[in-house]
Amino acid sequence: MQGRLFLISSSSGAGKTSLAKSLVQKIGAKCNIERVVTYTTRPQGKSEVHGKDYHFLSDAQFEKGEQDGLFLEWSTSYEHVYASPASILEGLKQGKSYLLVMDHDGVANVSLMIPDAVTIWILVEDVQEIKRRLEGRGRDTAEQIALRVGLVQKENEMARSSAVYQYEVVNQNFGKACNELVDIVKNSIGCCT
C-alpha cells in the first residue's frame, strides 16, 4: 500500500512545525507516519539540533546535493534555501506516510508532482500573536520579524484564495489545532481509530 504525503504550510510563526512534531508524538507509530527533516542553508538556531530540526547545509553542500539529486524540490525563502529530500518518494512506495513542513511554493510544486498529497494551511489570524511567537524563538532580528509579520495577512489571503490547500487549520489554541490535524491525517490514512 502506498503511503500518504501531507504538505503543511503557513506564514512564519503559525506553529506548523510544532503541530507536525506533536502529531507524530501522538500517532506516528500507530499510523506509520513521520515528519520529514528538510534541508536549509540558513544558520542553525541555538536550540536547534542538526538532523532533528533541519539538515543545516552550507551553500556549497546545497549545490552538491542538488547536483547529486538529493532534493525533491527546493525554494528560496527569506534569503535562504529550503529543500525537501527526494528519498521520501521511495518511502511512500513502501507504505510510509510523511508530514512535510514547507513554504507555499514548495506545497504548490510538490502537489503537482504528487497529486494525491494532502495539503494543509495553518492559520493564525492574530498578527500580534505571530509577532510574540517569532520573538519567543530568539532566532530572528527585529527587522526579520517585522518582515515576516508584515507578510502574514498577504500569505493568509493568498492561501485562502488559492486552489492549492484542501484544509485550513486555525491555530489559536494549540491543542484544538493539533486534534484537528490528527483527525485530518487519520481520516486520510484510515488508521489509528
For 66-78, write each residue's pLDDT tens digit. 999 999 999 887 7
pLDDT of residue 192: 58
pLDDT of residue 130: 72
- Which residues constitute the domain of residue 21? 5-189
Quote the radius of gyration of the chain (alpha carbons, Å).
Answer: 16
Can you give the CATH number for the domain in which 134 is found?
A: 3.40.50.300
Taking the C-alpha atoms of residue 122 and residue 170, their distance in angstroms, rounded to an integer, is 6
Ranges of residues in the chain with a pLDDT under 70 are: 1, 192-193
pLDDT of residue 193: 53
Residues sharing a CB contact under 8 Å with residue 25, sequence separation 6 or more, in sequence order: none
pLDDT of residue 36: 96
pLDDT of residue 146: 80
Number of domains, the chain: 1
CA distances from 63 to 45, 49, 55, 122 (A): 22, 22, 14, 31
Residues sharing a CB contact under 8 Å with residue 130, sequence separation 6 or more, in sequence order: 11, 12, 13, 14, 124, 148, 149, 152
How confident is the model over 18-59, as pLDDT tens digits? 999 999 999 998 899 999 999 999 999 888 899 999 999 999
